[in-house]
Structure 1
Amino acid sequence: MSQPGVTLLAHGLGGSTDLPIPYSYALIGAAWALTLTFAVVAFAWRTPRFDPDRPGRPLPGWVTRAVDSPMTRSVVAGLALALAVWVIAVAIVGPQDTGNALPGAFYVLLWVGVPTLSVLIGPVWRAVSPLRTVRRVLPVRALRNYPEGLGYWPGAAGLFAFVWLELASPDPGSLTAIKIWLACYVVVTLGGALLCGPRWLSRADPFDVYSVVASRLAVFGRNRMSGQIAVVNPFNHLRTLPVRPGTLAVLAVLLGSTAFDSFSASPDWRNFADGIGINTAVTRSIGLLVFVLVVAATFWGAAQATGGIDRARRRELPGLMAHSLIPIVVGYVFAHYLSYLVEKGQQAVIALFGLHDVEVAYVLSAHPAVLATLKVCFVVAGHIGGVIAAHDAAIRLLPKRHQITGQLTMMLTMVAYTFTGLYLLFGG
């Protein structure tokens, strides 16, 4: 069996090295995306249907009591803290080469695994964050309130720092680079939490922010009146995404970085990067930043391109419609990193706990047609979810006479995201 971690060290997550989807699959997915977009715009409902205050179907009362139990939360937080200590110990005393378990735990279990769990059951990082646990047990009172004007900007900066390490740094698999990044993360996150209180963790911890964003597609939530855990409509749940400064920046970093990861594996990018004769890290850093800025600028411009509203309302539209990007982000991330979560995730667990007699089951790579189909389905499903959420938001926010024409630019922008995503997955 190949040594766990070898591929991980080669290129961070390396999701763009996945099997590309066949050309015919890309065309079929693009056709479905285009057709369904304009079907929604032309024939869908004309009054808003999604309401975050609408109660879901409550689960039995014991579920809420068990989840909210201080004992349950303490046990989960304690186990997560113990796991973090174990990862640190293995990273220090383990082999300082490709056999070290740290890259797998960092790039796969943390970066891909936590958001995946959040999509399934809710914002798990708030329950398992080791730094939140440490902050909770320290008898320290915050010295000042978190500046509300910062919003999610610190979280967006932290997310960009992570994707820069993975996609643009000179050696993303370097144990030293990962350890330095984690040390900076601990200092900034825990220091900010001691200074500004738990709100810093909710706004500035990149993993917390990512977990919250992904959790807005979960089918489990809480009824606002009773606080009881319930099965909810994800489209109602999407609208609970807090609208704060930096919300769009968070989503732009997530979508733009994933797109750049695919594009940077293409021959066009390699030929361009090799031809200009600039340091690779500089070239990749600029490319990553451009992709993030393009996503942010196109969505912001599409949200602004409508008539019949005053200037104040126009400024608010990008934030009020940002939740419609979440299905597209999650769909593309799943399409991009699915096999890495399933297969490299197994490698990461094997390396972390020394289970070297266990064989990795390559359940997806062994069935390329299934993998390609899943990729297309994730991208198209994310596109459909984004279009539906954007349509409902448009008819809720825009004047009646502009409800159709006002959302055409946004729909075309989402089609462009989907076509680009399919093209990059096809060419990657």
Structure 2
Amino acid sequence: MRLREIAITVKLAACLPLPAQAHVSEQGFVLLLPTGVYSAAGVAAVALTVLALFVLPGATVRDLFAHRALAARAFARTRQITSLAALAVLIFLVYLGFFGPRDPLSNLMSLGFWTLGWMAAVSLAPVVGNLWSWINPWTGLYRVLGPLRPIVALPERVGMWPAVVLLMGFAAFQLADIAPDDPARLARFVAIYWVATFAGMMLCGPGWLRHGELGTAVFSAYASLAPVRFSDPAGAGGPGWRLLAEKPMPAAGIFALCLLGVGSFDGLNETFWWLGTIGVNPLEFPGRSAVVGQTLAGLLLACEALVAVFALTVWMGLRLARADTGFGTAFGWLALSVLPIALAYHIAHYLTSFLVQIQYSVAALSDPFARGADWLGIEPFRVTTGFFNSIDSVRVIWTTQAGVVVLGHVWSVLLSHRIALRLFGDGPRTALATLPLSVFMIAYTMLGLWLLAAPKGA
């Protein structure tokens, strides 16, 4: 690989426009760094982790996810205040969406939702915990206006099925809508969603958020990987211990797999391979409106295929181990082990977009109405994409993305083995039950690293 080729490609990529999409991807990008070596090393790291688990005693794996109990703290009054404050901020953002600057790169409705919310806040959930429980814009107002008792009691068997449907709808809007970053369009989407969710709470009580509010579902899922939790059941331990502390809700495993499927397809549908498959020239992308049907079909197929393949690995594991554990129980628990992979894909996929769009967000915070104000005193401020113009910085960015993906897979392998110990106990039965799942995770590592390195043209 000649350095001159790499330099030319990186410079071309740096000259491409970077619109404030749900993620910045309306661009052609061909990565010519020698990524094969890094990918092979990443796959080897995951494979070695799998092999190590066959010889490590179960007690060692249990210790990785051990935790100690802490005194639970509810912070109910504080959460009410922060929720009301978040509602006020949301109203301001919706106002900006309808009446603020039309450029998504200058409007805090678009930048706040996609960059600060979907990219940044979600990625921080395993570190800071369930931030959404503090800033969701419903609970504060519900405590003021809501009925003492819910009008309709949701049966527990409803589980997370409403959240699964909402996740697929959100992904369809994000990936297939012609302009998901348009401020007015996004403001309308958010306003309708807020009203519908608050109506659900007024009808079914605060429990509706657990079943049918997407932000609560996403943040709760990723926050379950955090090492510390202050609300009940409070404790501190190895990242992921909370997944073992509570019985999963019905469809929680399906939701986790759909999170992974959505993230994977989000990367796949930008690649030259996918565009060629649907008959689109990646260097002459005709626009989202020309591929809405293909995108929706691909999204649905990706999630269905992932659920089916994962179910097959669980079934094969149960057959190999001759285990008495029911398929539904094993599937529901083991599917949660893909959450670290889904999180890693989320962080890696949006890293480059975030590096650019966070700069636009700072500029918009300083001048929210795009009238030349400088509330933060940062002028002269210029957005830069210079880090895409250097071989060294591009190498750092890509290796960071690859490292996050590999770490997520290693984490998932360890977590799946710990869950298997819970289901099947110590001994060869656990190793046999997790063998197909381990092969699945090694293969998915290869897929994830390929998605990072694959040429992109949409």
Note whether the superposition's TM-score is higher than 0.5: yes
Alignment partner, residue 218 of structure 2:
210
8 Å Cα contact 2:225-2:242 kept in structure 1: yes
**Residue of structure 1 equivalent to 2:437:** 410
Specify every segment of 5 or more residues in structure 2 that has no aligned partner in the other structure, as ranges.
1-16, 368-373
Which residue pairs with 1:303 in the alignment? 314
Q: Which amino acid aligns with 1:175?
A: P
Structure 1 CA distance for aligned equivalents of residues 363 and 208 of structure 2: 34
Amino acid at match of 1:258: G
What SS does the aligned partner of 1:12 have? coil
Counterpart in the other structure of 1:107 = 114
Give the superposition deviation at 1:70.
4.8
**In 2 relative to 1, CA 36–54 (structure 1 residues): closer, same or farther, beyond 3 Å?**
closer
| Cα separation, partners in 2 of 1:294 and 1:207, compared to 1, 3 Å | same
1:184 matched to 2:179? The reply is no
- TM-score computed with the length of structure 1 as normaliser: 0.86
- Point out the more displaced range, 98-107 or 158-167: 98-107
Structure 2 counterpart of 1:77:
83
Q: Does 1:288 align with 2:299?
A: yes
Give, in whole Å, the separation in 1 of the partners of 2:279 and 2:130.
Answer: 41
Which of residues 265, 281, 298 is equivalent to 1:260?
Answer: 265
Cα distance in structure 2, aligned partners of 1:143 and 1:103:
35
Whether 2:397 is the aligned partner of 1:371: answer yes
After alignment, is 269-278 or 185-194 more displaced? 269-278
Seen in structure 2, the aligned counterparts of structure 1 residues 142 and 370 have a Cα distance that, compared at 3 Å, is same
Shift of 1:205: 0.7
So what's the TM-score if we normalise by structure 2?
0.81
The 8 Å contact of residues 84 and 141 in structure 2, kept in 1 or not, is answered as: no
The alpha-carbon deviation at position 405 of structure 1 amounts to 1.5
Identity %: 24
- Return the letter of the residue paired with 1:302: T
Residue 362 of structure 1: how far off its partner (Å): 5.3
Question: Amino acid of the residue matched to residue 295 of structure 2?
Answer: R
1:130 aligned counterpart, secondary structure: coil
Q: Which moved more, 1:263-272 or 1:133-142?
A: 133-142
Q: Does 1:37 align with 2:50?
A: yes
- Gap change, CA 1:131 and 1:424, over 3 Å in 2: same
Q: Is the Cα–Cα contact under 8 Å of residues 76 and 127 in structure 1 kept in the other structure? A: yes
Secondary structure of 1:35's aligned partner = helix
Name the counterpart of 1:3.
Answer: none
**How far 1:281 moved relative to its partner?**
0.1
Q: How many residues align?
A: 410
Kept in 2, the 8 Å contact 1:8–1:104? The answer is: no
Q: Which residue of 1 aligns with 2:174?
A: 166
- Distance 1:403-1:7 versus aligned 2 partners, 3 A rule: same
Contact 2:66 2:237 in 1 (8 A): no
* Distance of aligned partners of 1:242 and 1:191 in 2 relative to their CA distance in 1, 3 Å threshold: farther
Taking a change above 3 Å as real, the CA distance of residues 279 and 84 of structure 1, as seen in their structure-2 partners, is same
Residue 126 of structure 1 deviates from its aligned partner by: 1.0
Corresponding letter in the other structure for 1:187: V
Match of 1:385 in 2: 411
Q: Is the 8 A contact 2:65 2:238 kept in 1?
A: no
SS for the counterpart of 1:88 is helix
The equivalent of 1:26 in structure 2 is 39
Cα displacement string for residues 339-358 of structure 1 (whole angstroms, at most 9, x for unaligned residues): 33343123224224415833
SS in 1 for 2:140: helix
Aligned partners of 2:98 and 2:183 also within 8 Å: no
Match for 1:109: what amino acid? Answer: L
How many Å apart are 1:209 and its aligned residue? Answer: 0.5
Aligned to 1:398: 424
Residues in 2 aligned to 1:167 and 1:101: alpha-carbon distance in whole angstroms: 20
Whichever residue aligns with residue 12 of structure 1, its letter is: A
Which residue number in structure 2 is paired with residue 93 of structure 1?
99
CA distance in 1, matches of 2:133, 2:295: 32
Deviates more, 1:146-155 or 1:266-275: 266-275
Contact 2:79 2:140 in 1 (8 A): no
- The one-letter code of the counterpart of 2:23 is L
| Aligned CA distance change for structure 1 residues 157 and 369 (closer, same or farther; 3 Å) | same
C-alpha deviation, 1:270, in angstroms: 1.4
User: Quick check: 2:94–2:191 contact (8 Å CA) kept in 1?
Assistant: no
Query: Secondary structure of 1:213's match?
Result: helix
2:331 counterpart of 1:318: yes
72-81 or 163-172: which moved more?
72-81
2:382 is the alignment partner of 1:359:
yes
* Counterpart amino acid of residue 131 in structure 1: W
Correspondence for 1:175 among 169, 174, 183? 183
The range that moved more, 46-55 or 296-305, is 46-55
Tell me, yes or no, if structure 1 residue 327 matches structure 2 residue 340.
Answer: yes
2:109 touches 2:183 (CA, 8 Å); kept in 1?
yes
**Amino acid paired to 1:265:** E
Decide whether aligned partners of structure 1 residues 377 and 297 sit closer, same or farther in structure 2, where only a CA change above 3 A counts: same
For residue 68 of structure 2, give the secondary structure of its aligned residue in structure 1: coil
Distance 1:236 1:289, change over 3 A: same
**Using a 3 Å threshold, how does the CA distance of structure 1 residues 241 and 280 change in structure 2: closer, same or farther?**
farther
Code of the aligned partner of 1:333: H
CA offset digits 1:215-249 (Å, max 9, x no partner): 11212214867x5xx54221323324651222122
Change (3 A) 1:125 1:223: closer
Secondary structure of the residue aligned to 2:138 is helix
Deviations, residues 33-71 of structure 1 (Å, cap 9, x unaligned): 22222222x222235616988415x5xx8xx77xx4455
Q: 2:353 & 2:45 partners in 1: Cα distance?
A: 26
For the Cα contact (< 8 Å) 2:260–2:339, is it kept in 1?
A: no
Distance across 1 between alignment mates of 2:167 and 2:278: 24
Provide closer, same or farther for how the CA distance between residues 390 and 167 of structure 1 changes in structure 2, counting only shifts above 3 A.
same
State the match for 1:420 in structure 2.
Answer: 447
Letter of the structure 1 residue corresponding to residue 446 of structure 2: F
Specify the code of the residue in structure 2 equivalent to 1:398.
F
State how far apart, in whole Å, the 1-side matches of 2:409 and 2:402 are: 11
Following superposition, the deviation at residue 118 of structure 1 comes to: 1.5
Partner of 1:86: helix, strand, or coil? helix
Structure 1 unmatched ranges of 5 or more: 1-5
1:270 aligned partner, one-letter code? L
CA distance 1:223–1:129, change in 2 (3 Å): closer
